[in-house]
Structure 1
């Protein structure tokens, strides 16, 4: 009898994740037990302790409490990976507000559209204000000053003027909510995902348990905090477990300073999107410090598929396992991950086992698929959001009886390891043959000299669609189109082999580090 492909894993080690209920008490234990331990290190190497961070957050909470904002109302937060973001996030949460992190680099018109769609009463700004279109809510600049002598202070002077009640989706929020995150929106408009205190707590606990994070751990904030990857994996899990997070200069990743930052904080791990891993690998010969590098325990990859060739090469360079993880904004970030060494076998090409949730593979009729059979990945558990704000139709389609329909295709093996095979919306239909761009990309990326690949659909009068590929060649190497095609013909089905190869200097990526497929299609398909 076929066994349905579903998996669920509970932590069975002696490690116990931190007991938190959400953002409000995220660092409370550390403040009680280790008040002077470093929580944050700024780009100019100034340390901020857990006690100092808590005092600043309380200050922000008190100031926001005097503005007329009420518990359960939404406030925007536009900042890079800086102390301002962290202090504002924790302070607003302590004031009982629902925080909506926003990308500060968005064009002002897009930022205004998101503020209006949600209906935030005000926006905390931890980055220089962009010029142009005004926001439909008052903007309150926030600054955190931390001295080398250990003193810290907040500059925030919110006025009593807040936006009037508007028609935004914030009316659907309640005091059970603590965050609103926007999806990447690469295949359509960004959707607004409300996350409760319970969602956040479950996510943080499962991340800490998966990687056994503790006070001896430290990391560098590579991924932006306004998306789940950087927010949950790097920031919240580190702070909840008593670790330390280095905030890079200007609050954003820089390959040129990355290893200096890692050494400055004695980092034990870091997490990044595949595009950043590719950059670090390409520059490793001249920049990786070798024996002078900090003693890493592991490295993590998420936000997009990581090709196996890059994974193996980076593992050889760094001398530690590179663990692939999988998740979505709608699942409060992580849903599965390859396990730590000694906690289970590493299966490269997979994204590991479920972490605190149940994963099921479902066919087009809603039935569970047998082991090894491809279907849609569904996720169920305490990290799954209840739906989307202001979009009942999309909510009813994506969230079914507590299950999240991810839109991703994959299989589960007999050990419960998930392997992703593509995304339903990305499939290319070549004369009836359904082709996964992600599969073709993974194969072609293994061609010697190839750094990155993006596969896209080329309109065709006969077949409907053909396969195109934009290829980035590694710096200092030369690869011809025919070499890439020959490599593909030996490893792909005939209908999967690209009909067009474009050699390009770089590929477009979203802010969270995922390939921007809309931009690829627009740029190379015509």
Structure 2
């Protein structure tokens, strides 16, 4: 399919890689060279905060945290939405030599507490959205507020208490001032793993993302994905700030489809990144809400964190008039590991998540031997963005990090040109009488059926085959495509053993906080 050319093709000679060594100096170049340039656009009034103002706020927070008795390498939690408070707290903690651990603000009290205790956080910074909840946490909780004026000035309100000198507890014993972040993987409290990322990991990730998309001071985006996860944190926030661009933080710090295009126009956005579920929402609402010729011209649109079906990709490109670039990453690799290139830098390939970006990628068989081109195996990643392991989990670290390689648990294949295609997760495979079925593959086929909006495929226990294939399908119109039509489409496009034995039409599917399909919830709801 021909992809519309970007509205403005950047001259390669103008691209300047960011000069950063981590979170500590993320803003330094911009403060020196462009102090009055806009860094953030915040609040419902869309007030612009300059790089100089943002750096000043971060320095103020750093001074107050050091004054509270926190020392280099200490861990602090961040419970904030996508607000100015999050950005100031993150950069302030880094400038104080602390290790920041962002947490999902909507987690129940028990899960927040369990993660803070497991980490060994000395304190937690919360913004207004979190401090308004009646939540009692096991560590000192300090409310942080950034007061912004219409003129673009701002002040910090933070009055931390004094942290007494204590012996470091929990996983924080494994941290040092080389570390910048601790991110929690997706999962329940007892299964979420803690991933330590150094300043060097952060710098490598930011440089790679900026280079892949040639981000610079002329670029701007809207923060769609939450900052407590790598997708929003690295791809939208940190890469934009390191490259001198601008990030609009939606009102109340959360994505809103109703205001998205107004936000994009207000900041003159040149790109955005999101999970497929959000792309689907924007596409479904585009007939009513996409501003057409009044929309800002986009260089590209990015999709990551979950598989994007081909039909949606093509529809998005036609609607938004920009190439949609699929990327692949994980928390353990500081987000991005592969991406499709900008159209002027390489070919776009349907069904691919692109080529390696700043890392080495190989696909191996069960014995750890490299698979030939086109042969499916487990995807392994190695490079400067890869974490050293998990905190307080030596056994899982030994299984996942092998001789410098990250075993992703994803199935895929590399073609002769090094483009990676993903076929599913090893742990998600359905075993139907010895036939291994990828639910992601079946979901992609279902999503291509006319009238189907989205689908989730799961294993149904079976006394004869061990497992059978089940599917929950959301249709675009209540009186549209029916169950038998969907199954007929499946029979025409799938092997017989892959066709769902059980198919339910549902109104909505459950999603995780980071925007991916919640497979555990799907299994619990529809498999019994």
Same fold (TM over 0.5): yes
Q: Deviations over 1:79-113 (max 9, x none)?
A: 00000000000000000000000111111111011
Confirm or deny: 8 A CA contact 2:353 2:421 kept in the other structure: yes
Write the distance in 1 (CA, Å) between the matches of 2:135 and 2:264: 38
Please state if 1:428 is matched with 2:430. yes
**Looking at both structures, which has the greater relative contact order when contacts are Cα pairs under 8 Å and sequence separation is at least 6?**
1
Please state if 1:175 is matched with 2:177. yes
Aligned partner of 1:89 in structure 2 is 90
The correspondence for 1:438, drawn from 432, 440, 453, is 440
Confirm or deny: 8 A CA contact 1:282 1:475 kept in the other structure: no
Confirm or deny: 8 A CA contact 2:15 2:216 kept in the other structure: no
The correspondence for 1:324, drawn from 323, 326, 340, is 326
Confirm or deny: 8 A CA contact 2:221 2:272 kept in the other structure: yes
Confirm or deny: 8 A CA contact 1:43 1:246 kept in the other structure: no
Confirm or deny: 8 A CA contact 2:236 2:247 kept in the other structure: yes
Aligned partner of 1:299 in structure 2 is 301
The equivalences for 1:81-160 within 5 A come to 81-126=82-127, 127-129=129-131, 131=133, 134-160=136-162
TM-score by length of 1: 0.96
Aligned partner of 2:26 in structure 1 is 26
Write the distance in 1 (CA, Å) between the matches of 2:454 and 2:322: 23
Write the distance in 1 (CA, Å) between the matches of 2:76 and 2:403: 30
Q: Deviations over 1:44-92 (max 9, x none)?
A: 2111000000000000000001011110110000100000000000000
Q: Deviations over 1:266-312 (max 9, x none)?
A: 00000000000000000000000000001111000001000000000
Larger deviation: 375-384 or 120-129?
120-129
Q: Deviations over 1:420-467 (max 9, x none)?
A: 001000000000000000000001100001010100000000000000
Confirm or deny: 8 A CA contact 1:186 1:510 kept in the other structure: no
> Against the structure 1 CA distance between its residues 475 and 53, is the aligned structure 2 distance closer, same or farther, given a 3 Å change threshold?
farther
Count residues with an aligned counterpart: 515
Write the distance in 2 (CA, Å) between the matches of 1:263 and 1:153: 27
Deviation, 1:128, is: 3.0
The correspondence for 1:235, drawn from 231, 234, 237, is 237
> Against the structure 1 CA distance between its residues 138 and 308, is the aligned structure 2 distance closer, same or farther, given a 3 Å change threshold?
same
Confirm or deny: 8 A CA contact 2:17 2:207 kept in the other structure: yes
Aligned partner of 1:341 in structure 2 is 343
Q: Deviations over 1:130-188 (max 9, x none)?
A: 65552110000000011012221000000103584464111111111010000111797
Confirm or deny: 8 A CA contact 1:109 1:133 kept in the other structure: no
Confirm or deny: 8 A CA contact 2:115 2:189 kept in the other structure: no
Aligned partner of 1:214 in structure 2 is 216
Aligned partner of 1:405 in structure 2 is 407
Please state if 1:279 is matched with 2:281. yes
Structure 1, unaligned stretches of length 5 or more?
A: 1-11
Write the distance in 2 (CA, Å) between the matches of 1:128 and 1:187: 19
Secondary structure of the 2:131 match is: coil
Write the distance in 2 (CA, Å) between the matches of 1:124 and 1:207: 28
Larger deviation: 272-281 or 166-175?
166-175
Confirm or deny: 8 A CA contact 2:380 2:407 kept in the other structure: yes
Write the distance in 2 (CA, Å) between the matches of 1:196 and 1:28: 19
Aligned partner of 1:63 in structure 2 is 64
Aligned partner of 2:201 in structure 1 is 199
> Against the structure 1 CA distance between its residues 253 and 418, is the aligned structure 2 distance closer, same or farther, given a 3 Å change threshold?
same
Deviation, 1:348, is: 1.3
Aligned partner of 1:8 in structure 2 is none
Q: Deviations over 1:373-402 (max 9, x none)?
A: 000000000000000001000000000011
Write the distance in 2 (CA, Å) between the matches of 1:232 and 1:131: 27
Secondary structure of the 2:467 match is: strand
Secondary structure of the 1:448 match is: coil
Confirm or deny: 8 A CA contact 2:69 2:165 kept in the other structure: no
**Structural RMSD (CA):** 1.4
Aligned partner of 2:5 in structure 1 is none
> Against the structure 1 CA distance between its residues 163 and 432, is the aligned structure 2 distance closer, same or farther, given a 3 Å change threshold?
farther
The equivalences for 1:325-474 within 5 A come to 325-474=327-476
Write the distance in 2 (CA, Å) between the matches of 1:122 and 1:187: 19
Write the distance in 2 (CA, Å) between the matches of 1:493 and 1:16: 49
